[in-house]
Amino acid sequence: MTDRQALIAGNWKMNGLTAAALAEAKALAEKLAANPHKAQVAICPPAILLAPLAASLSGSGILLGGQDCHAKASGAHTGDIAAEQLKDAGAACVIVGHSERRADHGETDAIVRAKAEAAHRAGLIAIVCLGETLAQRDGGETLKVVASQLRGSLPDDANAANTVIAYEPVWAIGTGRTPTLEQVAEVHALIRRELRARFDDGAGFRILYGGSVKPDNAAQLMAVADVDGALVGGASLKAGDFWPIIAAKG
Ligand code: 13P
């Protein structure tokens, strides 16, 4: 059996102004310092908040992450941010291929794969997101879609140390709906099989569940086999909601 340290990552999306964000992060750091916990904890704020959060969270053990990066290291790409720049601002990881990026910005598996490669080049952990739409779920295509996204989005240089997978059913994001525990188990088992088949250390990759994770369902979801933590949106914005989710892992 492989020991995988749970990762609980908060995706703040396009939320947070400096003063309030720093206050929530400080409250979380205080909770973590005062209470033993097993999981590794990450916050992925809007990129402009990385540097101030890095300064205020120094020594807290909380990892910081970006929400997206460009595939190139620098150049004429107005508005984009390179993985190297995220790293420079204090990030240790970066989310790539979130369904909101896939939908809002037309990101394909090939684009996501290039971004994951950029993350690795910069020394960041890539948190690679996958997940089916409701139409795909209703059409019985979930396993096919997730396997295909996984194959297309993961670069060959992925390994258990530099890559984390996040399974986020699109229809569960921000809706208050979650899949049944059986449905979560089925998809995570598929992802694990695919990882084992392709990578020597496939048993060691962490696979997170994301989509309406809340304090009252976190323990159940994270007790499912091959669920190695959570990627949390709305409930990560307040330390008072995020801490109980972290505590749910022990
Ligand atoms: P919610 O937890 O708000 O459903 O968002 C999940 C998500 O998209 C995390 O990346």
Q: For 44-74, how does the pLDDT look when each residue is reduced to its tens digit (9 = 90+)?
A: 999 999 999 999 999 999 999 999 999 999 9
Question: Tell me, what's the pLDDT at 228?
Answer: 98
Does residue 39 lie in a domain region? Answer: yes
Rounded Cα distance between 47 and 64, Å, is 10
Does residue 34 lie in a domain region? Answer: yes
**In the annotation, is 77 catalytic?**
no
> What CATH number is given to the structural domain containing 160?
3.20.20.70
The two structure tokens encoding residue 206: 């962490």
Does residue 2 lie in a domain region? Answer: no
Q: What residues are in contact with ligand 1 under a 6 Å CB criterion?
A: 11, 98, 168, 173-174, 210-213, 231-235
Does residue 232 lie in a domain region? Answer: yes
Probe residue for ligand 1, chosen from 13, 128, 177 as the CB with the greatest number of ligand atoms within 8 Å = 13
Rounded Cα distance between 247 and 116, Å, is 29
Average pLDDT, the chain: 97
Question: Tell me, what's the pLDDT at 1?
Answer: 45
The two structure tokens encoding residue 141: 């295509």
Confidence of residue 2 (pLDDT cuts 50, 70, 90): low
Q: Is the pLDDT of residue 243 over 80?
A: yes
- CA quadruple 15, 224, 171, 167: dihedral sign: positive
Taking a C-beta distance cutoff of 8 angstroms, is the pair 95, 67 a contact? yes
Does residue 222 lie in a domain region? Answer: yes
User: Nearest-CA neighbor of 120 among 76, 158, 166, 69?
Assistant: 158
Q: For 190-201, how does the pLDDT look when each residue is reduced to its tens digit (9 = 90+)?
A: 999 999 999 999
Q: Which amino acid is at 70?
A: H
SS (H, E, C) the chain: CCCCCCEEEEECCCCCCHHHHHHHHHHHHHHHHHCCCCCEEEEECCHHHHHHHHHHHCCCCCEEEECCCECCCCCCCCCCCEHHHHHHHCCCEEEECCHHHHHHCCCCHHHHHHHHHHHHHCCCEEEEEECCCHHHHHCCCHHHHHHHHHHHHCCCCCCCCCEEEEECCHHHCCCCCCCCHHHHHHHHHHHHHHHHHHCCCHHHCEEEEECCCCCCCHHHHHCCCCCCEEEECHHHCCHHHHHHHHHCCC
Q: Is the pLDDT of residue 211 over 80?
A: yes
Confidence of residue 172 (pLDDT cuts 50, 70, 90): very high
Ligand 1 centroid distance, CA of 75 (Å): 31
Q: For 79-102, how does the pLDDT look when each residue is reduced to its tens digit (9 = 90+)?
A: 999 999 999 999 999 999 999 999
Q: Is the pLDDT of residue 3 over 90?
A: no
Catalytic residue among 132, 168, 188, 194: 168
**In the annotation, is 168 catalytic?**
yes
Question: Tell me, what's the pLDDT at 250?
Answer: 87
Name the closest-CA residue to atom 1, ligand 1: 233
Q: Is the pLDDT of residue 121 over 60?
A: yes
Rounded Cα distance between 76 and 138, Å, is 42
How many domains does the chain fold into? 1
Rounded Cα distance between 24 and 123, Å, is 27
Q: For 99-119, how does the pLDDT look when each residue is reduced to its tens digit (9 = 90+)?
A: 999 999 999 999 999 999 999
Rounded Cα distance between 70 and 80, Å, is 6
- CA quadruple 33, 35, 41, 43: dihedral sign: negative
Does residue 1 lie in a domain region? Answer: no
Q: Is the pLDDT of residue 4 over 80?
A: yes
Ligand 1 centroid distance, CA of 125 (Å): 19
Per the structure, the complete domain to which residue 106 belongs is given by 7-248
Does residue 71 lie in a domain region? Answer: yes
